Amino acid sequence: MNQEHKELPIGIFDSGVGGLTVYRALHDRLPNERFIYLGDTARVPYGTKSLATVERYALENSQFLTSRGIKMLVVACNTASALALPKIREAIGIDVVGVIGPGGRRAVEVAGSKGRIAVAATEATVLSNAYADAIRRASPDAELIQAECPLFVPLAEEGWTSEPETFSIAEKYLAGIRAFGPDALVLGCTHYPILRDVIQQTVGANVKLIDSGEATAVEVAELLEAKNLASATEPSGKRRLCDDLDHFFVTDAAERFGRIAERFLGSTPSKLEAVEVFGYDKLSKQ
């Protein structure tokens, strides 16, 4: 692999802002790497869309990012990871990593092959059984429970991380999981790490929380080394989140994205642009 290719950035896309937690995990684990992030904020949420629509959106996002020159793609959206990875891998000629497989495998590592594993996720992700399938592929003997927690997304985006209402909602959603007594709980939506403290206090200190973004970052690091793709260039000075080495794109509402990025990451992106990705593969050939 030539040096120039190694220095290309890693692409990340999500249906909106939740994937910023995946970006943070990747950034923290891979300080030598640069990132290009696309949030498809004009078409969020993906969870209510048909399979064909999710595949089309995911392909357009992937083609936009590959047109910018990336060496690897991380699909930070749980819905797209559940439904569109085969189509994405078929369409682009680089390695593609989703968030569900790494999260499921990490949960089995923590809980053990016959452990008790819980998944907290959005309604669409729970109904897809994507995490359940990933966990059972890693260990058919694991005991499993899932819970839908849809209001966690707006609570995270509003920054309601310690309000009494947030604890009350968490109690309602997670009471069944606490009664189940899991060894590990998968945070099956990229927004949920923002509410980590509330979730941990609700289910109990002995339950290990699995951040799918962190698990994905570990697997991306391993894949970069295995494929000889890791950047060897150390940045001058200490990297910070959202610095000018990373480029952020959204398909709508850039100002709101910047505000939520500040809430999630403590930083506003230095490079943030609004773009149109509909039919981008066609436009880029003109």
Residue 171 has pLDDT above 60, yes or no: yes
Residue pLDDT, tens place only, 64-111: 999 999 999 999 999 999 989 999 999 998 999 999 999 999 999 999
Q: Phi/psi zone of residue 277: left (φ > 0), alpha (ψ -120 to 50 degrees), beta?
A: alpha
Domain 101-213 part of CATH 3.30.565.60: no
User: Considering only CA atoms, which of 181, 208, 4, 10 is closest in space to residue 103?
Assistant: 208
User: Considering only CA atoms, which of 53, 56, 121, 51 is closest in space to residue 83?
Assistant: 51
Query: Distance between CA 38 and CA 131 in Å, rounded?
Result: 24
77, 117, 118, 149: the active-site residue: 77
Instruction: For residue 98, give both structure tokens.
Output: 């989703």
> pLDDT tier at 167 (50, 70, 90 boundaries)?
very high
Q: Name the DSSP letter for residue 112.
A: -
pLDDT (0 to 100) of residue 232? 85
Instruction: For residue 190, give both structure tokens.
Output: 């990229």
Residue 286 has pLDDT above 50, yes or no: no
Would you list the domain boundaries of the chain? Answer: 3-98+214-283, 101-213
Q: What is the pTM assigned to this prediction? A: 0.91
User: Considering only CA atoms, which of 3, 8, 42 is closest in space to residue 275?
Assistant: 42
pLDDT > 70 in the chain, percent: 97
Do 167 and 201 meet the contact criterion of CB atoms below 8 Å apart?
A: yes
77 is catalytic: yes
pLDDT (0 to 100) of residue 283? 41
- With 0-12 CB in 10 A as exposed, 13-18 as middle and 19+ as buried, what is 199? buried
Query: Distance between CA 104 and CA 86 in Å, rounded?
Result: 18
> pLDDT tier at 285 (50, 70, 90 boundaries)?
very low
189 is catalytic: yes
189, 215, 220, 250: the active-site residue: 189
- The CATH code belonging to domain 3-98+214-283 is 3.40.50.1860
For 114, phi and psi rounded to 5 degrees?
-115, 25
Average pLDDT over residues 37-51: 91
